A and B are shown apart, each in its own frame.
Chain A
């Protein structure tokens, strides 16, 4: 049963990733695109975790943690660049 559930949930996440990609492509403003990127990395963390659950490996946790940290830093760096024109003042 668990295998089927994992398959269904990964299908849901793939649909979510495509929706994010769509917003990233059409998003009328830069802020929309940053928001789409932000959501994209959270969804990719979910996909990696799901693969970790499926294969039973513990290494995927580290990858997910790294993506979470890098994603937050890049989101705030992009926002700061747009707000101030500089990242490190």
Chain B
């Protein structure tokens, strides 16, 4: 195997590993459930994508044919990660889990729980 390919594969593996670790550190470290949602769902997905790209490059070289079936796992994870994050956020809202005290706009969380529209005068997003 040429040195440059080994280098590229190693870089992708290391980046993937670092992102997986950062996602799990976030899961262990962040203060409340809503902030904890951010780290694992995104950083780990990107980390796994890094590992998959490395595996793709390596197997394509070893078998000297294009090996792209790892893309399937990456695609599947990119589709499912937001769905599971959304469902976990829903269960957290449903259980009335307390958000961090300095969280802004906590009244919106109460409105979201009942699936109401936010108070009428607050049309912030409207153009």
**B95 on interface, CB distance cutoff 8 Å:** yes
Contact A19 B80 (CB under 8 A): no
Contact A1 B28 (CB under 8 A): no
Contact A65 B24 (CB under 8 A): no
Complex Cα spacing A17 to B40, Å: 12
1-51 of chain A: CB within 8 A of chain B:
1-2, 5-6, 8-9, 12-13, 15-17, 19-20, 22-23, 29-32, 34-36, 38-39, 42-43, 45-46, 49-50
46-73 of chain A: CB within 8 A of chain B:
46, 49-50, 52-53, 56, 58, 61, 64-65, 68-69, 72
Contact B36 A75 (CB under 8 A): no
Contact B17 A8 (CB under 8 A): yes
Question: Which residues from B are CB-within-8-Å of A19?
Answer: 24-25, 27-28
Question: Which residues from A are CB-within-8-Å of B21?
Answer: 12-13, 15-16
- Does more than half of chain B's interface fall in helix, strand or loop, or is it mixed? helix
Contact B13 A9 (CB under 8 A): yes
- Does more than half of chain A's interface fall in helix, strand or loop, or is it mixed? helix
Complex Cα spacing A45 to B88, Å: 20
**A82 on interface, CB distance cutoff 8 Å:** yes
Determine how close the nearest CB of chain B comes to the CB of A20; give it in whole angstroms.
5
User: Which candidate, B51-59, B104-112, B114-122, is the interface stretch facing chain A?
Assistant: B51-59
Q: How many residues of A contact B (CB 8 A)?
A: 46
Name the residue in B1, B7, B10, B62 with the highest tally of chain A Cβ atoms < 10 Å from its Cβ: B10
Chain A interface (Cβ < 8 Å from any Cβ of B): 1-2, 5-6, 8-9, 12-13, 15-17, 19-20, 22-23, 29-32, 34-36, 38-39, 42-43, 45-46, 49-50, 52-53, 56, 58, 61, 64-65, 68-69, 72, 75-76, 79-80, 82-83
Q: Give 18 new A-B contacts, CB below 8 A, not counting A2-B10, A31-B95.
A: A1-B7, A9-B13, A9-B14, A9-B51, A12-B17, A16-B24, A19-B27, A19-B28, A20-B27, A29-B33, A29-B92, A39-B24, A42-B40, A53-B58, A68-B80, A72-B83, A76-B87, A83-B94
